[in-house]
A and B are shown apart, each in its own frame.
Chain A
Amino acid sequence: MSSSSAYTKPEQFVVAVTRDEDMLKAVELRKDDQSLEVLWVKSTEANGDWSAFAAECGVLSGTSRGKKPDRNKIVTVGFGSAGVAFYHIEAPAVDREDAAAIVKMQVENLLPLPADQIEVVWRTRPSVNGKAGITLAAAKKELLQKFVESVRCIEPRTILLNCEAVVKAWRAFFGGDEKTAVVVSLGARNSQVCLAEDGQLSSAVVLDVGMEDFPEGPDEPGDYEEGLSPEQAEAADRFCKDMGSVLESFGLTDAKDLPIVVLSGGSSDIERVVAYLKSAGMNAASASPELGSITSQDGLNAEDLYEYRVPLGLAAMAIDDSTEGLKLFESLYVAAGEEKKKGGLYSRRVAGAIAAVMLVALLLTAYLVDAATYKRLSALESQPRFKEAGQRYELMKIAAQQRPDLMELLSDINSSEIKGITLDSLWFRKGQLVTITGQAQSTEQTYEFQKYLLGKSGIKEVNLEHPAKADKDRKVKFTMKFHYKQYTKKNTGL
Chain B
Amino acid sequence: MSKLSEKDIRTIRIGAICAVAIAVFAFGIKWLENWSSVRKSLSQTRSRLSEVAVDESKLASLMSIVPIFEVPQIEEKQKFLFRDKINEQLKKARIESEPLQIQNVRKARQTPGYKVLPIKFKAKCRFEQLLDFLTSLKENPYLAGVDELKIQCDTKQTPEKRQDVTVEMTVSTLVK
Contact = CB atoms under 8 A, between A and B. Distances in A.
Interface of A: 1-2, 4-8, 367, 370-371, 373-374, 377-378, 380-381, 386, 388-400, 402-407, 410, 422-430, 491, 493-494
A238 to B, nearest CB: 57
Contacts of B172: 402, 494
B108 interface: yes
A402 B146 contact: yes
A391 B69 CA distance: 12
Interface in B21-54: 31, 35, 38-39, 41-42, 45-46, 48-49, 51-52, 54
A1 B12 CA distance: 10
Given A6-B2, A430-B147, 15 more contacts: A5-B3, A5-B8, A395-B114, A400-B65, A402-B145, A403-B138, A423-B153, A425-B150, A426-B150, A426-B151, A428-B148, A429-B148, A429-B149, A494-B108, A494-B110
A189 to B, nearest CB: 48
18 contacts: A8-B2, A374-B42, A381-B45, A390-B51, A390-B52, A395-B71, A397-B62, A399-B66, A399-B144, A402-B144, A402-B145, A405-B65, A406-B146, A424-B152, A425-B151, A427-B151, A430-B145, A494-B109
B3 A388 contact: no
Contacts of A400: 62, 65-66
Contacts of B49: 377, 380-381
A8 B131 contact: no
B162 interface: yes
Contacts of A494: 108-111, 116, 144-145, 172, 174
Contacts of A428: 146, 148-150
Contact of A398 (B8, B135, B144): B144
Contacts of A390: 48, 51-52
Contacts of B143: 399, 403
Given A370-B42, A389-B52, A493 B145 contact: yes
Given A4-B2, A390-B48, A427 B109 contact: no
Interface residues of B, number: 52
Interface centre among A388, A395, A405, A494 (most CB of B within 10 A): A494
Given A426-B150, A430-B148, A1 B35 contact: no
Contacts of A373: 42
Interface string B43-82: 0011011011010000000100110010110000000000
A97 B136 CA distance: 82
Contacts of B8: 1, 5
B1 A378 contact: no
Contacts of B135: 407
Contacts of A7: 3-4
Interface in B1-22: 1-5, 8, 11
Contact of B48 (A8, A370, A381, A407): A381
B137 to A, nearest CB: 8
A2 B1 CA distance: 10
A372 B34 CA distance: 14
Contacts of A389: 52
B154 to A, nearest CB: 9
